[in-house]
Amino acid sequence: MRASKANVKKWVEKITSWYRDVQRPLPWRETKDAYRIWISESMLQQTQVVTVIPYYHRFLDKFPTIESLAAAEESDVLRLWSGLGYYSRARNLHRGAKAVVEKWKGEFPRDRKHAESIPGVGPYTAGAVLSIAYGLPEPLVDGNVQRVFARFFGFKEEIHTRSASDFFWSTAREWVGSARSPSELNQALMELGATLCSKAQPRCTLCPLKSDCIALKTGTQASLPRRKPRRPVRRLSWATWVHESDHRILLQRNAENTWWEGLWDFPRSEKPENVEPEAWLRDLPHAPLAALDTQKHTVTHHRIEVFPYVLPWKGKRRNGPHQQWVTVEEAKQLPLSALAKKILLAYCRAQSGTRRSNA
Ligand code: ADE
């Protein structure tokens, strides 16, 4: 699948010129600051642009410099990340900022080897920061780039293999090597994958690469790129407890190596696998219970149905590093999991409803 230098040059020019015309105006495209590009690229991994924009602004308002991030408390970093998911990205960014401040006086290194030695900075992030912030001809490959290349070259191998990875990276290296603007080329590849060359219903008639695209020629867009079958969905049911005592509610911090490690949540009970949900709910040991709105929550291939209940607390209130009795306002200041945020909202809604109906 070797392409001639002249063809690569032609394709690179076509896609770059398309990008110049149609790129979306995004806040991180207004800067060449490596720290800001790094933040945006960390947030954009696994997360859509529209979701990222408000997080990006809030994060940089609070931590405008790499030094301010390096000096932050982890809980403040997590709080600003809360809702974006994949919290290891936030922890790594925090550790990475400390490393860059300590080792490189706060300046993101200008070569791949040093960049990839920073916690949380892998080949993709290194390529993104080096090309976008510094204009270096460093390649990057993400899911969008894989889709563009797999379709354009009619690449039929399953994409999570070593040889597929070699193909994508060597192609990306070749393309960025012949680009006048590595920053624009890399962003153009991702932009094409995110907009026209989308997973479902790609809009091929508008594509700058349509005249040489193998998938378009052979009508194979829908089956490319080829990936492993998805893991089957697992359904879970949880009951969560909003324990109440004297205008305070109980929150617990998730332990290491559990979902949402380090974030705060309401205590919960999980339905055993072999019990029907109705029987399990009926037999919950707590009474009296006020049920809040049921919540649906998804974590990778898990679909969780969550039944939140409000429960007066009769015992002593104890606080510790992993357990806090807080007011609702204090709860909002903690780094909550996305699920805890939903439950807190349902709780506040129910409370204001109760106050209205009592009035
Ligand atoms: N996805 C992740 N980073 C991106 C970028 N810089 N441009 C377009 N899409 C992206």
Which tokens in the block code for residue 94?
Answer: 């925090």
Residue nearest to atom 7 of ligand 1 (CA): 187
Is there an atom of ligand 1 within 6 Å of 138 CB?
Answer: no
Distance CA 42, CA 359 (A): 48
Predicted confidence at residue 230, as pLDDT, reads 85
Is there an atom of ligand 1 within 6 Å of 184 CB?
Answer: no
Residue nearest to atom 6 of ligand 1 (CA): 187
Worst-scoring range by mean pLDDT, 74-78, 111-115, 174-178?
A: 74-78
Residue 45 CA to ligand 1 center (angstroms) comes to 9
Predicted confidence at residue 355, as pLDDT, reads 55
Predicted confidence at residue 288, as pLDDT, reads 67
Predicted confidence at residue 29, as pLDDT, reads 96
Q: Tens digits of per-residue pLDDT, 208-242?
A: 999 999 999 999 999 999 998 888 999 999 999 99
Predicted confidence at residue 358, as pLDDT, reads 44
H helices present in the chain, as ranges: 5-22, 34-44, 49-62, 66-70, 74-81, 88-104, 112-115, 123-132, 143-152, 162-177, 182-194, 214-218, 277-282, 328-333, 338-358
Torsion of CA 220, 225, 229, 230, to 10 degrees: -120
Is there an atom of ligand 1 within 6 Å of 194 CB?
Answer: yes
Predicted confidence at residue 305, as pLDDT, reads 95
| Atom nearest to 28 CA in ligand 1 | 6
Residue 133 CA to ligand 1 center (angstroms) comes to 13
Percent of the chain whose predicted confidence (pLDDT) is above 70: 97
What average pLDDT does the segment 252-279 reach? 91
Predicted confidence at residue 87, as pLDDT, reads 87
What average pLDDT does the segment 194-207 reach? 97
Predicted confidence at residue 219, as pLDDT, reads 97
Query: For the chain, what's the residue count?
Result: 359
Is there an atom of ligand 1 within 6 Å of 41 CB?
Answer: yes
Predicted confidence at residue 359, as pLDDT, reads 38
Tell me the CA distances in angstroms from 132 to 19, 173, 307, one per residue in order. 14, 15, 45
Q: What is the mean pLDDT of the chain?
A: 94
Predicted confidence at residue 1, as pLDDT, reads 64
Q: Which residue has the higher pLDDT, 268 or 352?
A: 268
Is there an atom of ligand 1 within 6 Å of 237 CB?
Answer: no
Residue 186 CA to ligand 1 center (angstroms) comes to 8
Is there an atom of ligand 1 within 6 Å of 125 CB?
Answer: no
Q: Tens digits of per-residue pLDDT, 275-316?
A: 888 888 888 876 667 889 999 999 989 999 999 999 989 889
DSSP code for 140? -
Q: Does the pLDDT at position 263 exceed 90? A: yes
Q: Does the pLDDT at position 178 exceed 80? A: yes
Distance CA 106, CA 70 (A): 9
Enter the pTM of the model: 0.80
| Atom nearest to 44 CA in ligand 1 | 2
Worst-scoring range by mean pLDDT, 256-270, 287-301, 314-328, 344-358?
A: 344-358
3-class SS of residue 324: strand
Is there an atom of ligand 1 within 6 Å of 131 CB?
Answer: no
Q: Does the pLDDT at position 67 exceed 60? A: yes
Predicted confidence at residue 8, as pLDDT, reads 98
Residue nearest to atom 5 of ligand 1 (CA): 187
Which tokens in the block code for residue 24?
Answer: 């979306």
How deeply is 61 buried, as exposed, middle or buried, from its count of CB atoms within 10 A (0-12, 13-18, 19+)? exposed
Name the residues annotated as catalytic. 41
Q: How confident is the model at residue 66 (pLDDT cuts 50, 70, 90)?
A: very high
Which tokens in the block code for residue 328?
Answer: 């609702």
Q: How confident is the model at residue 324 (pLDDT cuts 50, 70, 90)?
A: very high
Tell which one of 22, 41, 195 to mutate to probe ligand 1, the residue whose CB is within 8 A of the most ligand atoms. 41
Predicted confidence at residue 356, as pLDDT, reads 52
Percent of the chain whose predicted confidence (pLDDT) is above 90: 85
